[in-house]
Amino acid sequence: MSGDAERQNAGKGLGLIGLVVGLLTGAAVYGIVEFWLDDNDDAPLPYAVLFFTVTASAAFLLLSERTMILRAALGALAIAAVFIIPDYHMAGVLGDEHDNLSDFPALFWLFASRGLVAYLLVTLLKSSLEDGAPPPYRTVFFHGLTLPPIAAGAGVIAVLALILLFVWARLMKEMDVAFFNRLFQEPWFILPFLGAVGGLSISLMRAQNAALGGIRSILLLVCRILMPIAAALTVTFLLLLVTKGVGVVFERTFTPAGLLIALAIIGMLLLNGVYQNGEGAPPSPWLRLSAVITLIGFPVYAGLALYAFWLRIEDYGLTPARIAGLTVNGLVAAYSIVCLAGLLTEANWNAKRWMPVVAPLNTAFALLWIVVLIAIATPFFNPWAMSANSQYRLLADGKIAAKDFDFAYLRFQLGRYGEKTLDDLASLSDHPEAQAIRDGVARARAAKSRWDYEHPETPPPLSGEQ
């Protein structure tokens, strides 16, 4: 059976497996939360085990096929194992013992980069299990486009099932049958129920080849429709830069770096939607020209975003949030290599394949994103220490006056690294503002909270007050 035919039969006959795996996962989650996590709220290990269990289960349901259950199980365990160190590390950051440490790196990992890394890992591993390693880009593209609708559809079904459950329980309660209302609020019931519904939903969604094919076609059609619009906006933006200079971006935009990164990422997604699996001939000339224009604009967006970050860091130093943003910006900017390589191949306008170098480079950059995003979530990368050192240099080198420096940020956002930096600042004896710096350090250490530092004569607002 060919790879395309196998993909058409993906997920069929796995409904029972999905139901059982989801049920067992929900029961395991309940056991971890009830008998381990509740008694160790600040311990990172139960959180890491919880995330491992859910990740391994979801990855298995997405990877499994009737002909390779064992390989899918081993692959799912391998994917879940990749997250153990960053999950353990970031869960520890959120504990009470780190009250004065910025939560941003942990939140960025848990709610942004972790999901992206899991998606890329499952896509690449599923493609490798089907067609060998390294997988052909057509398989990577197929699964990269198919997995998000499966996950989204399963999530919607699970939410609808939960709503239906509570509506039915409410109806029974109105009829003086309160048993179900109480039952559906019990964690020992609701967590396995949600797991079973989620597992079954993933398996059933995978079998809906016609629906998934329709969704893929719509997504690709949207990319083709939006590409000329993106090209027109790119031309307009470049003309504004030429006529008014880069100042128009930085002076009239609240978050220029974030906006520029968003534009670059949108352009990257649209390009890949038009490029598709990399095996086709060039598209129609108007669509091809639109793609070329968008490719030209991509390095401009990414480069200007880097410049915006540099200006911000030059004036205010590094923070964990800026480090995360700068990392993403660096990854986006690196994708300019793909864009430039694609543009170079356009020199051969009559080639039978369109920008053939883009396909292998896309796979390589997926691996780069995985490695970098995991690396910055490990203990070996310390954004708090980096930020504390940057803040120290900002004041010690005289780039900012002591009266304008935020000593409270070191005290209440950078934990022990900020405390050490406050010690280092207080020991500056040959600095022109040595006394003002010592006064700022003393004021930060005397404050009980950031509010107390910024409003020493005003009591903090009560909970719920504006």
Listed by start position, the domains of the chain span 3-207, 213-375, 383-454
Contact 124, 140 (CB under 8 A): yes
pLDDT digits (tens, 9 = 90+) for 129-186: 999 888 999 999 999 999 999 999 988 998 898 888 888 888 887 787 778 778 888 8
C-alpha to C-alpha distances, 192 to 25, 27, 50, 103, 199, nearest whole angstrom: 7, 5, 14, 30, 10
Written as six digits, the tokens of 256 are 């220029």
Give pLDDT, residue 1: 41
DSSP state of 329: H
Going by pLDDT thresholds of 50, 70 and 90, the confidence category of residue 318 is very high
- Phi and psi, residue 253, nearest 5°: -120, 130
CA-nearest of 6, 213, 216, 277 to 129 is: 6
Q: Is residue 266 over pLDDT 80? A: yes
Give pLDDT, residue 465: 46
pLDDT digits (tens, 9 = 90+) for 368-402: 999 999 999 999 999 999 999 999 999 999 999 99
pLDDT digits (tens, 9 = 90+) for 234-265: 999 999 888 988 877 777 666 788 889 999 99
Give pLDDT, residue 128: 95
User: Is pLDDT larger for residue 172 or for residue 21?
Assistant: 21
- The gap from C-alpha 314 to its chain's centroid, in whole angstroms, comes to 26
Give pLDDT, residue 251: 73
